[in-house]
Structure 1
């Protein structure tokens, strides 16, 4: 199944990038330029795609405000259930958004975070073998590589909780990355 860029995914990238309006418009045009990768109903009309992205951006900002209020009120379990009911594998979606960001946000070539932050973003406190398999599968599917400082390749299962992990786009065919899976 081919991944297609949805307005919701593009909205997340725009929110994370925090770009000025002119740069946002350029980013939307860049995303739509290769419209084979855009959801089918938006492949014929760039303005329709841009309007859908703006609607999603507003919706996600409102949702984020509601989530913040729910977290302050101590209702985090209800939020986690809502996220899991959304459909696709949240681990794969998380890394697809990172890939989209690295491909299309100008000047963004890597994403750096601690393993602890990654686990928290995914809604976990501990690293289980099943979660590590899901993360590794998602990294392979999105062709992201994991490095530590000094550009040293690292596997998720070998990283400490406070290890800074650098996510970069994996080169197409490089012999150094074949052994890491």
Structure 2
């Protein structure tokens, strides 16, 4: 897997802003902080200037705020002009996108941690059982973003070494990459 899977893209930021429903002022603060402090993790095609990065995020945010009919029309228009599809995310990127969203929430939403039961996490991604490859893939996404996982009581843990019934507490690492 390439390092680019862990870059913060305009799509990641737009999804976060859409889900958080923040004020316009807070959106600008988040975008500015990302651009100023985490520019090395923004793909160059979006991050050469702050205005270019902001415009890319806002264009996607506007699309996400459309109703279902308008969204489908926008997808058709983008496909006609040979723009990438709105449905381009591969399954392999789902874990990356999920943990990047958690990273953004921990960094900008004023929460210190996220809790999730391992069984629920796997079920949400359509898995009924875990495999070594799957837990390795999840752990890789967590490690690349420098997130830390704990069990209750602030006990450090690794995804492949815990029970399906364990609740994982996810926090930002001290020197979090992004």
TM over 0.5, yes or no? yes
Partner of 2:101: 97
Q: How much does 1:106 deviate?
A: 4.2
Partner of 1:30: 33
**Structure 2 unaligned spans of 5+:** 70-85
Partner of 2:137: 134
Contact 2:7 2:41 in 1 (8 A): yes
Contact 1:113 1:164 in 2 (8 A): yes
Relative distance call for 1:141 and 1:61 in structure 2 (3 A) is same
Contact 1:84 1:90 in 2 (8 A): no
Residue-by-residue CA offset, 1:125-147 (whole Å, 9 max, x unaligned): 22222211211222222222111
Q: How much does 1:100 deviate?
A: 3.4
**Local SS of the residue matching 1:52:** helix
Distance 1:162 1:15 in 2: 31
Contact 2:14 2:58 in 1 (8 A): yes
Q: How much does 1:21 deviate?
A: 2.3
What does 1:163-174 align with in structure 2 at a 5 Å threshold?
163-172=166-175
Size of the aligned set, in residue pairs, is 155
TM-score, length-scaled by structure 2:
0.70
Aligned residues: CA RMSD:
2.9
1:18 aligns with 2:32: no
Partner of 2:127: 124
TM-score, length-scaled by structure 1:
0.69
1:150 aligns with 2:153: yes
Distance 2:109 2:89 in 1: 33
**Structure 1 unaligned spans of 5+:** 67-81, 173-181
Which protein has greater RCO, CA pairs closer than 8 Å, 6+ apart?
2
The equivalent position to 1:49 in structure 2, one of 37, 46, 53, is 53
Q: How much does 1:36 deviate?
A: 3.0
Relative distance call for 1:87 and 1:7 in structure 2 (3 A) is same
Residue-by-residue CA offset, 1:83-134 (whole Å, 9 max, x unaligned): 786375432332233223323x141322222223311333322222221121
